[in-house]
Chain A
Amino acid sequence: MGDLWSMENPAENTQQSAVIDSAQAPQPGVAKDDPQNSKGNLQEFLNTSYGVIGRTVSTKSEPNTSSEYHFWVADSDKAQGKIEIGNIVAAYSDERNDITFGTVTEMRSYSDVDSFIADYLSHNFGEATVEVPTDIAEVVVVTCVVMRNVSSKTKPVGRSRVYFPSILGIQFAYGIVNEKGESIFSGAPIPVGVFENGDGTVAPISVDEDFLIGPEGAHLNVSGISGLASKTSSIEFTMKSLLTHTKKKVAIVMFNIKSKDLLYIDQSNERIKKDEWSGKAYEILHIPAEPFVKTRFFAPISTKLPDSTQSLRELKSEGFSWDLSLIYRDIPSLFSSFDWDDRMEGVWFVIQEKIERRELITYDQMLTWLNREIDNANRAHNQWISGGHVLTWSKMRSHLQRFPRSYEGLITTSGPGTDIPWKELADGSVYVIDMQMLSDRGQRLVFGRSIRAISDILENKEIEVDSVVIFVDELNKFAPSGQERSPLKSHLINITARGRSLGLVLFGAEQFASSVDKQIVENSSTYFFGRTETNELRTPNYSAFSEEVKTKLTMLPQGQLLIKFAKFPQPIFVKFPFPPCLPGDQYSSEQHQQEE
């Protein structure tokens, strides 16, 4: 345009047609004052240096309520693109007497385009490449679920400026600390990760020990698809944190059910040193980035090599092999549900009675006795043995004959067995039971036998620990959802319902929470959700989450989890560092030898 647009006669300040003094007129612009100038210490809950990121808004159709509020995002670089689902924000009332914390559950982008046809028209009736001089006004409206407010009054959020909260604000919002920053947990705070807010604020997130391992609540359930290393890593990290921060005497028993997953938890993880963020996270959370100590590794003995086990661990491991007296109560778990019926159960009761009367001491004795009973009945053309049909007895015999071969090393047929030294569990002990070499039924036997043994010693107060934490992956294998009942599943339900009073705590992991018995999942007071598939998110376990939170769960990156904890008003997305110990698949014997 050049000169055409330039003023030919620059303005001279000659005419003043002031009718109204604009300085006296109401100023609808941005309020000049800010919380830094206000009285009181409410500003300590806010990241005031970052500035205001929006204002609450309430409309006729979408009013703010005591449980939910909306705000629009300010048009500034510090607000636009910084807020995301799961962030925590703080609405600071215009009256400066309250702050309401909310977690972002939904974000919508509005424009003043009334309809699709309006935008079509705006592009000259459908010319998609056309450029326009003015961008259509757009606003991002954020919906937050109320977490907590400073006034502790249940009321809708009024006109407020919205900030990102400070670390204190975040921890206050989650009920971790009071307004002075003091822990309000009844037990020790156990860090489970760090929360990173949209403004970059990093806040340590802890759960209450009394709700993680009892007595108020207990049990942890972790779900998420495999392959992202979130489940095992997060539990290893949480257990390390627990052993570091607990005020109680805690022992841990882990079950290694696949590959070498947990077989090198006594080895340090070099990735922590290489990953700056992980190192810093351990520092912030006051957890030593060191592997587990006081560890012992157990596996069924090897029948091929003397004094060795069937473990994949190349370093030291201890063997166990169970004689009849140790496992007879768990033998039913080795049968499939198709084979185990009332008739079989009846026969087993007869055998079990003889074992409990110590008439049958070894597995071989049991088989010999069975052979004799069946032979006698056949010779006498007697179809019934102690009320059970001889064919049922024969079926029982063939199964019992097969088990020692199927679970070689696990079952000692003659002589005394070697049990896992449960009574040596002490404060800080970490046992790893390697059972990856066993079939599903064999794993059920080991798992069932172990938790029963631990229950017994806890009940009888034979060890000096307050809690024993049991960690098992693929929990669905041991307690699948559905109507089917097994002794092991019933026992696990019992543990999650009442185990906390004993001090028996279950940390379970599985791909899909819906595949685990509902009672076991619901009895947990802490949940970690890793990346989850869309189909799984349609199940009732996730009905409390908004669609946006679910969408975020489907895209959750490695090292991040959604944590739902009994005392948190809302779930929280946290990041956790690399585990403190070496993932089993990264162990190299050569490297280990070099280091040694």
Chain B
Amino acid sequence: MGAHHILNMARKFISAQGGEIAPLPLSEEELNPEVQEDLTYRVLHPIEANTSCYPVPYKFPDDSACSAFSFFEDGRQRTVLIGFVPSRIGQTDILIPVHFFCVASVILKRENHELKVWDEPIVQQGIFVEKSLLPKQNILEGFEEQGLNIVPIPAEGGDYYGLREKALQEAKKQRLAVEDLLITKWRESLDAEKHFLVVDGTLMNFRNERNVERCVGVSKSFKSRYFDVSDHNRILRMKEFERSWAFCFHDLEDETDDPRMGGRNRVSWYLRLRSRPNTDPEFGLVRVEISHHYTDQASRYANEISRSLLSERLPTSYPAPRWDKHLYPIRACENYLSSIMPSTVTIDASMKG
């Protein structure tokens, strides 16, 4: 079902609930840029000596096209406030925000230097609304039967701002779900037997350890410091083609989480993709993650994966923001997903009719 149709139904839904169509020209993601994801991670232990950084066995320009990666994954989400429904429960007047959302994930496969969509992307669209607060409960089922995907926001109370924040969180959950679904599909394919999948961002969001075993996460943003100031400054002063010592870390949440889910331990290291004079210490710096499954051979994997990642630094995605850390195929994933998701302009225009 196309976005236009869903938006059309959403418009009717809001009207039927006695609400008002009031689309915002910006998405919640644009209004609230994602917070850094690795603030609560804790380093368990360094796997390699942290007294110095390590040169990656990468010779430029001979190795400039040596990447062994062929698969790249990214997901995107777009959550836009499209209206609100006034409701009164008991003596409480409530304003319920209604969001249109679209989440999608894609894997690109590289063959003969060209990127193509692997299998099919997964796209999920619908609306977020706190169902239980809606005044006309009897019409919900009818809209759902017509194909409107109404995803409830699990919220407490009727705080307008709280509900909007929950919508954003739910979008992330949905996005991770479609990403996880696609990665699972890929991992179950023959392609996964001889390849790693390069994933944009941290792998900590993925719980499926078997998936993670075949993934390499590349984070572009990190503001946490896992080591003492001196060691961390050594990382910030790494030269081009150098990597940090590999270390093992996990999420603090895991310590209190349901132990049956398994601990999310990852092997990680920093890598300097490029450096130029007069640039900030994080210029070209990424953090790489792989599964703890490779802890025993961490040095070997860190070297080989870093070598391929260094090869992926070209071509650049300039002038994209953070182009210095971008991997071109990941950028291509983002561009692809942007092209298949309805833009805020389309959403705004569709809602206004």
Write the residues of chain A forming the contact surface with B, with a CB cutoff of 8 angstroms: 1, 4-7, 9-11, 13-20, 22, 25-29, 75, 112-115, 117-119, 121-125, 127, 129-137
Q: Output the least CB separation between A76 and chain B (Å).
A: 12
- Contact in complex: B1, A133 (CB < 8 Å): no
A13 touches which of B117, B124, B188, B319 (Cβ 8 Å): B188
Q: Complex formed: what's the CA distance from A135 to B113 in Å?
A: 5
Q: Please name all residues of chain B whose beta carbon is closer than 8 Å to the beta carbon of A136 when the two chains form the complex.
A: 315, 328
- Contact in complex: A121, B208 (CB < 8 Å): no
- Contact in complex: A19, B181 (CB < 8 Å): yes
Q: Complex formed: what's the CA distance from A252 to B124 in Å?
A: 73
- Residue B27 at the chain A interface, CB threshold 8 Å: no
Q: Complex formed: what's the CA distance from A1 to B63 in Å?
A: 13
- Contact in complex: B60, A4 (CB < 8 Å): no
- Contact in complex: A7, B192 (CB < 8 Å): yes
- Contact in complex: A4, B300 (CB < 8 Å): yes
Q: Complex formed: what's the CA distance from A112 to B114 in Å?
A: 14
- Residue B64 at the chain A interface, CB threshold 8 Å: yes
Q: What are 30 contact pairs spanning A and B, CB under 8 A?
A: A1-B304, A4-B304, A5-B195, A7-B193, A11-B210, A13-B188, A16-B184, A17-B177, A17-B180, A19-B177, A19-B178, A20-B122, A22-B182, A22-B185, A113-B315, A114-B318, A114-B319, A118-B316, A124-B60, A124-B64, A124-B314, A125-B276, A132-B64, A132-B113, A132-B328, A133-B69, A133-B113, A134-B110, A134-B315, A134-B329
Q: Complex formed: what's the CA distance from A134 to B323 in Å?
A: 16
- Residue B292 at the chain A interface, CB threshold 8 Å: no
Q: Complex formed: what's the CA distance from A522 to B110 in Å?
A: 56
Known: A15-B208, A29-B120, A134-B329. A7 touches B181 (CB 8 A): no
How many residues of B are counted as interface, with CB atoms below 8 angstroms from the partner's CB atoms?
Answer: 59
Q: Please name all residues of chain B whose beta carbon is closer than 8 Å to the beta carbon of A27 when the two chains form the complex.
A: 120
Known: A28-B340, A124-B64. A7 touches B315 (CB 8 A): no
- Identify the closest chain B residue to A129 (Cβ): B61
- Contact in complex: B210, A137 (CB < 8 Å): no
- Residue B68 at the chain A interface, CB threshold 8 Å: yes
Q: Please name all residues of chain B whose beta carbon is closer than 8 Å to the beta carbon of A14 when the two chains form the complex.
A: 210
What 7 A-B pairs are tightest by C-beta distance, nearest first?
Answer: A122-B315, A19-B177, A131-B65, A118-B318, A133-B67, A135-B113, A28-B340
B123 touches which of A16, A28, A130, A135 (Cβ 8 Å): A28
Main secondary structure of the interface of A (DSSP, over half): loop
- Contact in complex: A22, B314 (CB < 8 Å): no
- Contact in complex: B319, A118 (CB < 8 Å): yes
Q: Please name all residues of chain A whose beta carbon is closer than 8 Å to the beta carbon of B76 when the two chains form the complex.
A: none
Write the residues of chain B forming the contact surface with A, with a CB cutoff of 8 angstroms: 1-3, 60-61, 64-69, 110, 113-115, 117, 120-125, 174, 177-178, 180-182, 184-185, 187-188, 192-196, 207-208, 210, 213-214, 276, 300-301, 304, 311-312, 314-316, 318-319, 323, 328-329, 332, 335, 340
Q: Most chain-A CB neighbours within 10 Å: which of B115, B125, B180, B316?
A: B316
- Contact in complex: B122, A22 (CB < 8 Å): yes
Q: Output the least CB separation between A266 and chain B (Å).
A: 59
Q: Complex formed: what's the CA distance from A473 to B214 in Å?
A: 76
- Contact in complex: A7, B314 (CB < 8 Å): no
Q: Complex formed: what's the CA distance from A135 to B67 in Å?
A: 13
A4-B300, A7-B213, A130-B64 provided; 19 other pairs, C-beta below 8 A?
A6-B193, A6-B194, A13-B188, A14-B210, A15-B208, A17-B177, A17-B180, A17-B208, A19-B181, A22-B120, A22-B122, A26-B123, A28-B340, A119-B315, A121-B323, A130-B314, A133-B64, A133-B113, A137-B115
Q: Please name all residues of chain B whose beta carbon is closer than 8 Å to the beta carbon of A132 when the two chains form the complex.
A: 64-65, 113, 314-315, 328
- Contact in complex: B318, A26 (CB < 8 Å): no
Q: Please name all residues of chain B whose beta carbon is closer than 8 Å to the beta carbon of A115 when the two chains form the complex.
A: 318-319
Q: Complex formed: what's the CA distance from A286 to B50 in Å?
A: 86
Q: Output the least CB separation between B17 and chain A (Å).
A: 25
- Contact in complex: B67, A122 (CB < 8 Å): no
- Contact in complex: A15, B123 (CB < 8 Å): no
- Identify the closest chain A residue to B297 (Cβ): A4
Q: Please name all residues of chain B whose beta carbon is closer than 8 Å to the beta carbon of A122 when the two chains form the complex.
A: 314-316, 318
- Contact in complex: A127, B315 (CB < 8 Å): no
Q: Output the least CB separation between A77 and chain B (Å).
A: 13
Q: Please name all residues of chain A whose beta carbon is closer than 8 Å to the beta carbon of B193 when the two chains form the complex.
A: 6-7, 10-11
Q: Please name all residues of chain B whose beta carbon is closer than 8 Å to the beta carbon of A29 when the two chains form the complex.
A: 117, 120
- Contact in complex: A133, B311 (CB < 8 Å): yes
Q: Complex formed: what's the CA distance from A7 to B193 in Å?
A: 5
Q: Complex formed: what's the CA distance from A22 to B2 in Å?
A: 14
- Contact in complex: A11, B315 (CB < 8 Å): no
Q: Output the least CB separation between B308 and chain A (Å).
A: 8
- Contact in complex: A26, B125 (CB < 8 Å): yes
